[in-house]
Chain A
Amino acid sequence: MGLKDKLSLVGIVLLALIAVLGCFASLCGTLSGAPLVSTLSGSSQAIDKADAEFKRALMAVREAEAAGADKERIAILVERLNNVVGIIDRAERLLLQGNATEADAIADQTVDISKRIVSEAIELRDEASLRTYYDKIFTFSMAPVASLLVTVGAHYGWKWWRRREVDRLMRMEIKKVKEPEEE
């Protein structure tokens, strides 16, 4: 075994050692970091879930609005979203005060409300999309109809004007213009 081979073997062993140490350090970081972060941020799974459901509901309402849903019905959903925001705020306040059980119970309430908002918003979006689609078809189909009316109007208008001009021409009389007498 030459010196070159020995060096490459040592290199491989060192690399393997570094990889093992890296994995170990990363594992230690994960194990010790997770509870620390969770304690510091004061988060709870129930609140996180409530927050995630709220975001889903918000996105659904925005989609319904983009599809052209009625403003009044969107306003009702927005009001309910604000109720959810208020409840999550209260849950977070309770969590900060150390009342985790009640905080979780309050946060859980919002999940159902958010889910109902999502289903209603989806219904509203589908309804609005269909209505918007028909509105567009109606608007564009009105173009040839209006053009036909204009064409018919223009055709008969032209005919009436021509007849009127011809009649006027036919009714013309030759009038004798009196020449001024020469002095």
Chain B
Amino acid sequence: MPRLSEDMKRAVVIFISATIIFSALAYVAVTPRAKEQFFQLYVLGETRMAERYYPDDNPNIPVGRLVQWYLGTTNFMGSVQYVVIKVKLGNSTIKAPDDVNYMPSPAPVLAEFRRVIMDNETWEFPFAWIIGDVGEDGDMTCATVLVINVKDGVEVRRGQVSALNGHNFRIIFELWTFDPATEDLMFGWRTGGERRAAWLQVWFNATKPMSS
């Protein structure tokens, strides 16, 4: 067997080393980088900022007074996602969504907003509501909240709930997503074998208009 010259040996060593390095670089280039997958859910006030959630900054909302908020969600899941924001009406005693067991709130659903959003896309839309009516039964005040679809200018859905002396009503926003494993909607989302949930709530009091 002919012996390899010094030059040839050096060339073979360089070639093998370079092939290993370039193959590793190619692998890194074609493999998608793992990143944290999550959603962002937010509610903004009438100025489209995290302020002025109530008219005149007063949480005692009178009947018939329009409250304007902006709801938004951003998809950081790295893929196209189908999201549903469920708006629920509750009081202080009704259960809030459970972050540990991923159980949604049992409060009645006022409205649902659905959309398919792309990766890194933010979906923001106006959410306007009024207290349509307030009824009293002893110490309990029953408020009927109407969600107004601003785009069409028509009423979408109404929900009714009671609270002691009209205090501590709350509107709960839950983020639901489409789960490809079950092919159904689920509260929260799945990421890397884990489940996460996102929800928000804004408290308010219902007041009756002063009788003349």
Partner of A85, one of B22, B29, B116, B183: B116
Q: Which residues of B contact A158 (CB under 8 A)?
A: 7, 10
Interface size on A, residues (CB 8 A): 32
Measured CB to CB, the nearest residue on chain B to A85 is: B114
Across the interface, do A154 and B26 meet the contact criterion of CB distance under 8 Å? no
In angstroms, how far is the closest chain B Cβ from the Cβ of A108? 19
Across the interface, do B114 and A154 meet the contact criterion of CB distance under 8 Å? no
Q: Mark A75-112, 1 if CB is under 8 A from B, else 0.
A: 10010011001000100010000000000000000000
Across the interface, do A74 and B14 meet the contact criterion of CB distance under 8 Å? no
The answer for the CA separation of A135 and B115 in the assembled complex, in Å, is: 33
- Listed A/B pairs (15) with beta-carbon separation below 8 Å: A55-B178, A59-B180, A78-B80, A81-B116, A85-B82, A89-B114, A136-B30, A139-B29, A143-B25, A143-B26, A144-B19, A147-B15, A151-B11, A151-B14, A158-B7
What residues make up the interface of B, taking CB atoms closer than 8 Å to A?
A: 7, 10-11, 14-15, 18-19, 22-23, 25-26, 29-30, 79-80, 82, 114-118, 156, 178, 180, 183
Q: Restricting to A43-99, which residues have a CB under 8 Å from any CB of B?
A: 55, 58-59, 61-62, 65-66, 71, 74-75, 78, 81-82, 85, 89, 93
Taking A59-B183, A139-B29, A142-B26 as contacts, is the C-beta distance between A93 and B178 under 8 angstroms? no
Q: Which residues of A contact B156 (CB under 8 A)?
A: 93
The answer for the CA separation of A85 and B82 in the assembled complex, in Å, is: 10
In angstroms, how far is the closest chain B Cβ from the Cβ of A181? 50
Across the interface, do A61 and B26 meet the contact criterion of CB distance under 8 Å? no
The answer for the CA separation of A89 and B85 in the assembled complex, in Å, is: 13
Across the interface, do A146 and B30 meet the contact criterion of CB distance under 8 Å? no
Taking A62-B80, A74-B118, A139-B30 as contacts, is the C-beta distance between A155 and B7 under 8 angstroms? yes
Contact of A19 with B by CB under 8 A: no
14 additional A-B pairs beyond A143-B25, A147-B15, A154-B14, beta carbons within 8 Å, are A58-B82, A71-B118, A75-B118, A85-B82, A85-B115, A85-B116, A89-B114, A142-B22, A144-B19, A147-B19, A148-B15, A150-B14, A151-B15, A155-B10
